[in-house]
Amino acid sequence: MEEQIFQLQYAMDTFYFLVCGALVMWMAAGFAMLEAGLVRSKNTTEILTKNVALFSVACIMYLVCGYAVMYGGPVLLSGIEGGDSLVADALASKVEEGFDGGSVYSGASDFFFQVVFVATAMSIVSGAVAERMKLWAFLAFAVVMTGFIYPLEGSWTWGGNAVFGLYTLGDMGFSDFAGSGIVHLAGATAALAGVILLGPRFGKYSADGSIKGIPGANLPLATLGTFILWLGWFGFNGGSVLKLSDVASANSVAMVFLNTNAAAAGGLVAALLVARFMFGKADLTMALNGALAGLVAITAEPSTPTALQATLFGALGGVLVVLSIVGLDKLKIDDPVGAISVHGSCGILGLLLVPITNDASTFVGQIVGGLTIFVWVFVASFIVWMALKAIIGLRVSEEEEAEGVDVSECGLEAYPEFTK
C-alpha cells in the first residue's frame, strides 16, 4: 500500500513538473509576441525568427552538454529514460525521502523543466539587441550561452557546486527560488554585454543629447505577449516548488501562484502610475513592462511573502523598471523592449528582497551571488560577443538597418500586403 502511494506521489510530482515545464515553454510564445509588438514592422519577421530559433538552439545545446555542465551526469542525456531499474530506483529514493520529504520524479521530467528555463534566459537577450544585430551572430552566441555560460553559473547556484572551487553560494546564504538572478539577471547581463558592443539603433540618440522614441508596430501583440508571459510564469515559479504531492507542498504551490499573480498586478499598476506621473499619459508599454518587472521581482522568493508583501514587492519592481528604462536611455544604452531593465534591474531587486521574508538567506549571500552571476556572465558574454564581432560582425549595415532586417536577414516581410 505504501509503495502504491509512493508511486502515486512520483507520478503526481512528475506530472506537475511536466505541466509547469509546458507553461514555461509557453513563455517563449509570450516573448515572441511581446518583442514582435514592440519593434517596427520592417523588423518583425527577423525577431520572430530569432525567437523560434533561439528556443530550439537552447533545447538542443542544453541536451547536448548544458544539462551535464549544470547538474553533472551524462552528455547527450544518455540514460535519462531510466532503464530496467527505473521503478526500483525510484521507489528506493522515495523510501529514503519519505512521504513528506524531498520530491522524487522522473529524470526526463527534470530535464524538461530545466531546459525551458535556459530558453527563457536566452530569450531575454533577443529583445535588447533587436532591429540591428545580425541574426546568425545572435544564434552563434545562443549556442555558447545555452551550452556553457548559463549552465556554469547554474551549476554554482542550483547545482550546488563551488564557484571555480573557491566558495559555495548556498553556504553563504544565497537563495534564488525560481531564478531572478540565475535566469533573469543572467539573461539581462548577456544582453547588456551585447548591447554595449552593438551600439544603439541608427537615429536613436542624437549628438545634441536628445532621445528619439521609436514606437512599436503592434501593441495588441505586445499586450498578448505580456499576458502569455504572465500565465507561463505560474509554471516558472510554481514548478520551482519542486513538489506537489503532500499538503504542505500543495499549499506552498498555491501561495506561489497567488503571490506570483499579486506581484504582477502590483508591478503593472505601479508602473502605470509612475508613467502617468512622469510622462502625463498612461503608457501601455510601461504598464506591460511593469507587470513583467513585478514578476521578475517576486521570482527569487514567491513562497514566503504574504499576499500583500508580494503585491508591494511587485510594485517596487514596477517603479524601478520605469526609472531604469529612462536611466538606460540617458546612458545611451538602447534597449528596444526594456529587457535589461525588466530582467536585470528587477532581477537584482528580486534577489535583495529575499531576506526580508526568508530567514534562511542573508543579504551578504544575495549580494555575493548576484555579483558572481553578473561578473561571470558579463565577462564570458563580452568575450564571445567580441569574438563574433571580429569574425563575422555583430551589426547589419546602415542600408540594411534602414531597409529593415526582415528583408536583409530573412528575405520576408511580416506584413507584405499592398500591391501583392
| Interface residues toward other proteins, by CB under 8 A | 203, 399, 402, 407, 411-412, 418-419
Using the minimum distance from each CB to other proteins, give the nearer residue, 153 or 406.
406
List, in sequence order, the alpha helices (H) in 129-218. Answer: 135-144, 150-156, 186-198
Using the minimum distance from each CB to other proteins, give the nearer residue, 318 or 336.
336
User: Minimal distance in Å, beta carbon 368 to other proteins?
Assistant: 47
Using the minimum distance from each CB to other proteins, give the nearer residue, 290 or 404.
404
Using the minimum distance from each CB to other proteins, give the nearer residue, 359 or 399.
399
User: Strand (E) positions, 10-129?
Assistant: none
User: Minimal distance in Å, beta carbon 241 to other proteins?
Assistant: 44
User: Minimal distance in Å, beta carbon 284 to other proteins?
Assistant: 24
CA atoms of 314 and 226, how far apart (whole Å):
15
368-377 burial: b if 16+ Cβ within 10 Å, else e: bbbebbbebb
Cα angle 102, 297, 46 (rounded to 5 degrees) comes to 105
User: Minimal distance in Å, beta carbon 131 to other proteins?
Assistant: 13
Grouping H, G, I as helix, E, B as strand and the rest as coil, residue 214 is coil
CA atoms of 114 and 108, how far apart (whole Å):
10
User: Minimal distance in Å, beta carbon 45 to other proteins?
Assistant: 11
User: Minimal distance in Å, beta carbon 411 to other proteins?
Assistant: 5
Using the minimum distance from each CB to other proteins, give the nearer residue, 200 or 369.
200
Q: For residue 73, how many other CB atoms are within 10 A of its CB?
A: 15
Grouping H, G, I as helix, E, B as strand and the rest as coil, residue 224 is helix
Using the minimum distance from each CB to other proteins, give the nearer residue, 92 or 412.
412
List, in sequence order, the alpha helices (H) in 199-331. Answer: 219-239, 247-279, 284-299, 307-330
End-to-end CA distance of the chain, in Å? 68
The residue assigned the cell 536566452 is: 122
User: Minimal distance in Å, beta carbon 419 to other proteins?
Assistant: 5
* φ, ψ for residue 335, nearest 5 deg: -130, 95
Dihedral of the alpha carbons of 97, 62, 254, 370, in degrees to the nearest 10: 100
Using the minimum distance from each CB to other proteins, give the nearer residue, 84 or 399.
399
Using the minimum distance from each CB to other proteins, give the nearer residue, 101 or 203.
203
User: Minimal distance in Å, beta carbon 52 to other proteins?
Assistant: 15
From residue 218, give the alpha-carbon distance in Å to each of 29, 41, 93, 221, 274.
15, 8, 51, 6, 23
User: Minimal distance in Å, beta carbon 402 to other proteins?
Assistant: 5
Using the minimum distance from each CB to other proteins, give the nearer residue, 203 or 327.
203
Grouping H, G, I as helix, E, B as strand and the rest as coil, residue 206 is coil
Cell of 261: 499573480
